[in-house]
């Protein structure tokens, strides 16, 4: 059982044994041993306890060699020792591969959840606006027919055009809050009532960015019998333009997120060492992790030196480094806190610094922070390979990674050589 010491070496003669590991989401099958497999304590292995709970799926017959006899076998039977060492290396590779895969799945799950949330907002806005657009187009068609029945002179047409221009000129304004929208609609309704006009146009006009100055100009130039038709047409036309602007803005947001993900993963580029634009890489990583920052109300700032030189390396690997470090910084930062991502040139290198305002790394564990499988996160939120992987990838790109920490300020520093172009 997990937590109980391994007492010796075991050879499976018949039956099946399965190890189940719980990483925070319930027990899952980790490895299965069948007839002829060897497990337990192996020569030069540092395993003290099983990685999980061992269960027999059927009657099992095991040949056990107690711990006290294993050393003499290792010392006297070199052929057996060689076989067992190979088994140990195979087991180590299997364990490492499984844990790396699990770490990747945890990271992928976090990334997918964040992206789903980020994509859902503009996608929902497009769906909502498209449904409203169908109704507004019908209103616009009816209003156009009513307006065609009225006879307007050039000055009146100019006043109508001024209302339309005021709507177009305001397309980039921020979306009002529900309270602000309600107040705006009430103000337009009061204006319509004050001029003896049909107040049923208030909601349609409130959905646009038409100004009261433009409405006053229109009221001064168009007499009341035709004014209701003009306002209805102007409101419907502005509403259509306003909705199409929202759809365009949301579609642009989705496109930006997709481009950020493509840049982050480098899915359309070969995995070769090339000059890497760190500014774009860091910006894409921050964009991909923005949802997590929003959840904790953490402000993430990106500050890049002007004309930052490129570094030579593997862009996808470096993005994995930034993803791990910024994700850790967001975990460490306090709610409503701040994470800084800085990059500048120092001599023949580019230095990337990632800072958070969290509690800091306790002094007693700082020497172990890059050790594989060492983690301070709750079960299911990480298995302690993020920083180990980051260090390996930085070294693979001929760089170096260090950190300094104190309460309220932790800084990870990655130094990479400038590319020769």
Instruction: For residues 369 and 403, give the distance between their C-alpha atoms in angstroms, rounded to a whole number.
Output: 10
Which has more confidence, 335 or 204? 335
Q: Is 8-110's fold the same as 266-417's?
A: no
In this prediction, residues 237-262 reach a mean pLDDT of 79
Q: What confidence tier does 112 reach under pLDDT thresholds 50, 70, 90? A: low
Phi, psi of 177 (to 5 degrees): -70, 160
DSSP string, 111-139: HHHHHHHHHHHHHHHHHHHHHHHHHHHHH
CATH 2.40.50.140 fits 8-110, yes or no: no
Instruction: Kindly provide the b/e burial profile for residues 90-128, where b requires at least 16 CB atoms within 10 angstroms of the residue's own CB.
Output: ebeeeeeeebeebbeebbeebbeebbeebbeebeebbee
Alpha helices, H only, 177-277: 178-194, 202-206, 212-221, 224-265
As a whole number, the mean pLDDT across the chain is 79
Domain boundaries, the chain: 8-110, 115-254, 266-417
Highest mean pLDDT among 5-14, 151-160, 271-280, 402-411: 402-411
pLDDT in tens, 29-68: 777 778 888 877 776 666 667 667 788 888 888 888 887 7
pLDDT in tens, 194-242: 888 888 888 877 877 777 887 887 888 787 778 888 888 877 887 788 7
Integer angstrom CA distances of residue 399 from 173, 316, 394: 45, 15, 5
190, 247, 195, 202: which is closest to 220 by C-alpha? 195
Q: What confidence tier does 383 reach under pLDDT thresholds 50, 70, 90? A: very low
- CA pseudo-torsion sign 31, 35, 41, 45: negative
Query: In this predicted structure, what is the pLDDT of residue 380?
Result: 46
| Domain at 266-417, CATH class | alpha beta
Which has more confidence, 72 or 127? 127
Give pTM, 2 decimals. 0.51
Tokens of 385: 């390979």
Integer angstrom CA distances of residue 43 from 47, 80, 179: 10, 10, 71
Strands 338-346 and 299-304 turn out to be parallel
């Amino acid at each position: 059982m997990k937590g109980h010491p391994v007492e010796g070496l075991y050879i499976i003669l018949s039956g099946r044994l399965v190890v189940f590991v719980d990483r925070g989401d319930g027990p899952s099958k980790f490895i299965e041993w069948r007839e002829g497999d060897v497990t337990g304590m192996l020569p030069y292995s540092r395993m003290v306890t099983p990685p999980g709970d061992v269960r027999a799926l059927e009657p099992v017959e095991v040949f056990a060699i107690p711990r006290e006899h294993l050393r003499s076998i290792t010392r006297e039977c070199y052929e057996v020792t060689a076989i067992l060492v190979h088994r140990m290396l195979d087991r180590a590779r299997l364990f490492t591969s499984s844990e790396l895969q699990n770490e990747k799945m945890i990271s992928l799950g976090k990334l997918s959840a964040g992206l789903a949330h980020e994509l859902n907002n503009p996608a929902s806005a497009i769906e909502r606006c498209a449904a409203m657009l169908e109704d507004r187009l019908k209103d616009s068609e009816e209003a156009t027919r009513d307006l065609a029945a009225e006879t307007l002179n050039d000055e009146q047409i100019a006043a109508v055009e001024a209302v339309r221009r005021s709507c177009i000129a305001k397309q980039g304004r921020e979306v009002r809050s529900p309270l602000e929208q309600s107040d705006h609609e009430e103000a337009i309704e009061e204006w319509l009532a004050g001029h003896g006009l049909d107040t049923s146009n208030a909601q349609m006009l409130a959905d646009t960015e038409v100004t009261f100055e433009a409405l006053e100009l229109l009221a001064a130039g168009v007499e009341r019998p035709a004014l209701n038709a003009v306002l209805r047409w102007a409101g419907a036309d502005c509403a259509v333009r306003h909705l199409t602007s929202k759809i365009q803005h949301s579609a642009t947001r989705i496109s930006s997120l997709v481009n950020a993900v493509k840049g982050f993963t480098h899915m359309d580029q070969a995995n070769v060492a090339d000059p890497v634009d760190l500014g774009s890489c860091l910006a894409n990583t921050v964009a991909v992790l923005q949802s997590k920052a929003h959840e904790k109300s953490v402000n993430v700032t990106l500050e890049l030196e002007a004309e930052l030189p490129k570094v030579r390396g593997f862009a996808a690997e470096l993005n994995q480094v930034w993803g791990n470090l910024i994700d850790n910084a967001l975990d460490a930062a306090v709610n409503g806190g701040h994470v800084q991502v800085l990059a500048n040139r120092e001599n023949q290198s580019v230095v990337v610094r990632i800072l958070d305002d969290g509690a800091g790394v306790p002094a007693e564990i700082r020497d172990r922070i890059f050790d594989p499988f060492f983690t301070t996160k709750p079960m299911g939120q990480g298995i302690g390979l993020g920083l180990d992987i980051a260090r390996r990838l930085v070294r693979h790109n001929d760089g170096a990674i260090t950190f300094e920490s104190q309460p309220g300020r932790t800084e990870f520093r990655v130094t990479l050589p400038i590319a020769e172009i």
